[in-house]
Amino acid sequence: MHEIAIVKDIFKTLEQTYPETYENIDKITVQAGLLCNIQPILIQNAFEAFVLEETRFKETELEIELLPIIAHCSQCESQFEVRFHKFVCVCGQSSDQIVQGEELRISQVIFKD
C-alpha cells in the first residue's frame, strides 16, 4: 500500500519545512488530482494508521481536496474539464495537454495556537 509512504512523506516534508512548529500541526489539507493515482479513502486510512503510531499527531486532521482534470485545447486556446475520460474540447478537438489533475501537494497547514 503506497498510501502509507505518501502519508510518511507528507509528515517528513512538514518536519523539514516547519522544524520549530512541526509538533503543533492542527490540520493538513492535501490537493490530489484525479490522475495522481491515489484513493482519498486509502490516504485517510493510512493517515489514521500513522497517527496511531505517532500519537503526538492524534488530534491532527487531514483534509483531501480532489482536483478535476483540466486540459488545454491548442485549437481554440481554451481550457476544459475532462469528464468521463473524454479528452475532447467543446470545439471538438481532442487534446492530451493536461493543465491540472496529476498533482499531489500539501496546499494548507494550520497550526494550533
- Cβ contact 91:82 at 8 Å: no
Predicted structure pTM score: 0.86
The pLDDT assigned to 2 comes to 83
Residue 113: per-residue pLDDT: 79
Quickly name the fold that domain 2-68+101-111 has.
Answer: hypothetical protein PF0899 fold (3.30.2320)
HSE at residue 8, side-chain half, CA atoms within 13 A, is: 7
Tell me the pLDDT tens digit for each residue of 46-66: 999 999 999 999 999 999 999
> pLDDT-based confidence at 1, cuts 50/70/90?
low
- In the chain, domain spans: 2-68+101-111
Q: Return the C-alpha cell found at 47.
A: 493517515
Contact assessment for residue 30 and residue 75, using Cβ atoms and an 8 Å cutoff: no
Confidence band, pLDDT 50/70/90 cuts, at residue 7: very high
